[in-house]
């Protein structure tokens, strides 16, 4: 049996590689709102043909991470205030429920891990590294939500994060943070105390406060 990948397999692997890398760049704010992309440019950057580049773009467009005009122009989303408010409301609904479901499984090892991640967020703030800040901030939330054992709900949350990535980068530049988000400490304290109402309030405040500023 030949171990050489068939052309279709190679194309699929290339598409997945481009998709995952571009998805991370968009989610973590590496690309600004309205950033223009081309299939040719994507192909050259990732050393792939047009087909995997096109499939990756189509997949990201289906998730709302990219927009495609009728003329074929590809850009990252530029969200209206109404859209930002809608996504903030979704985050509040989904992530509060994820946190609540995670609470019974929030053992001390998990809380210690979240405190370590919060330290990494502080480092990113000090270094004024917006992409590292967004990546570690989402890692803080994802680490907790994985304990909810609700994969469909977590996938919905990640789709919202993906659509918000470029706009969150713009928000970070506006806020000029000097310390980690204040509500992270309240989230950790509520987890330690087993305080579900306090946890729900802290998560809701954390995921909506900044977005309200962005829409303001």
Instruction: Tell me, yes or no, whether 170 and 198 share the same domain.
Output: yes
Instruction: Tell me, yes or no, whether 186 and 107 share the same domain.
Output: yes
Domain end, chosen from 60, 75, 90, is at 75
Instruction: Tell me, yes or no, whether 62 and 93 share the same domain.
Output: no
Distance CA 186, CA 19 (A): 35
Number of domains in the chain: 2
Query: The CATH number of the domain where 11 resides is what?
Result: 1.10.10.10
Instruction: Tell me, yes or no, whether 65 and 97 share the same domain.
Output: no
Instruction: Tell me, yes or no, whether 68 and 168 share the same domain.
Output: no
Task: Examine residue 1 and state whether it is found in any structural domain, yes or no.
Answer: no
Low-confidence ranges of the chain (pLDDT < 70): 1-11, 173-178, 210-216
Domain end, chosen from 75, 108, 131, is at 75
The pLDDT of residue 210 = 67
pTM for the model: 0.88
| Phi, psi of 142, deg, nearest 5 | -60, -40
Distance CA 102, CA 100 (A): 5
| Phi, psi of 173, deg, nearest 5 | -65, -30
- Tell me the residue length of the chain: 216
The pLDDT of residue 212 = 65
The pLDDT of residue 176 = 66
Instruction: Tell me, yes or no, whether 196 and 159 share the same domain.
Output: yes
Instruction: Tell me, yes or no, whether 97 and 196 share the same domain.
Output: yes
Query: The CATH number of the domain where 188 resides is what?
Result: 1.20.120.530
The pLDDT of residue 72 = 83
The pLDDT of residue 169 = 83
The pLDDT of residue 177 = 65
The pLDDT of residue 23 = 95
Instruction: Tell me, yes or no, whether 101 and 167 share the same domain.
Output: yes
First-to-last C-alpha distance (Å) of the chain: 61
Task: Examine residue 2 and state whether it is found in any structural domain, yes or no.
Answer: no
The pLDDT of residue 179 = 72
Domain residue limits at 32? 7-75
Instruction: Tell me, yes or no, whether 123 and 173 share the same domain.
Output: yes
Instruction: Tell me, yes or no, whether 105 and 200 share the same domain.
Output: yes
The pLDDT of residue 5 = 47
Task: Examine residue 182 and state whether it is found in any structural domain, yes or no.
Answer: yes
The pLDDT of residue 1 = 44
pLDDT in tens, 118-157: 999 999 988 888 899 999 999 999 999 999 999 999 999 9
């Amino acid at each position: 049996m030949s171990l050489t990948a068939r052309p279709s397999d190679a194309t699929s692997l290339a598409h997945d590689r481009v998709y995952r890398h571009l998805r991370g760049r968009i989610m973590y704010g590496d690309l600004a709102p309205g950033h223009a992309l081309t299939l040719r440019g994507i192909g050259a950057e990732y050393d792939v043909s047009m087909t995997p580049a096109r499939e990756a773009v189509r997949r990201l467009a289906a998730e709302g991470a990219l927009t495609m005009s009728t003329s074929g122009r590809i850009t990252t989303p530029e969200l209206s205030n109404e859209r930002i408010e809608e996504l903030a409301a979704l985050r509040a609904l989904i992530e509060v429920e994820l946190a609540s479901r995670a609470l019974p499984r929030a053992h001390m090892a998990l809380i210690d891990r979240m405190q370590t991640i919060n330290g990494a967020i502080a480092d990113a703030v000090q270094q004024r590294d917006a992409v590292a800040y967004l990546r570690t901030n989402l890692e803080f939330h994802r680490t907790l939500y994985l304990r909810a054992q609700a994969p469909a709900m977590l996938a919905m949350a990640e789709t919202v994060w993906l659509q918000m990535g470029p706009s969150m980068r713009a928000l970070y530049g506006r806020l000029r943070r000097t310390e980690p988000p204040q509500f992270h400490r309240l989230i950790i304290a509520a987890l330690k105390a087993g305080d579900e109402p306090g946890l729900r309030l802290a998560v809701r405040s954390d995921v909506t406060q900044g977005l309200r500023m962005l829409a303001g």
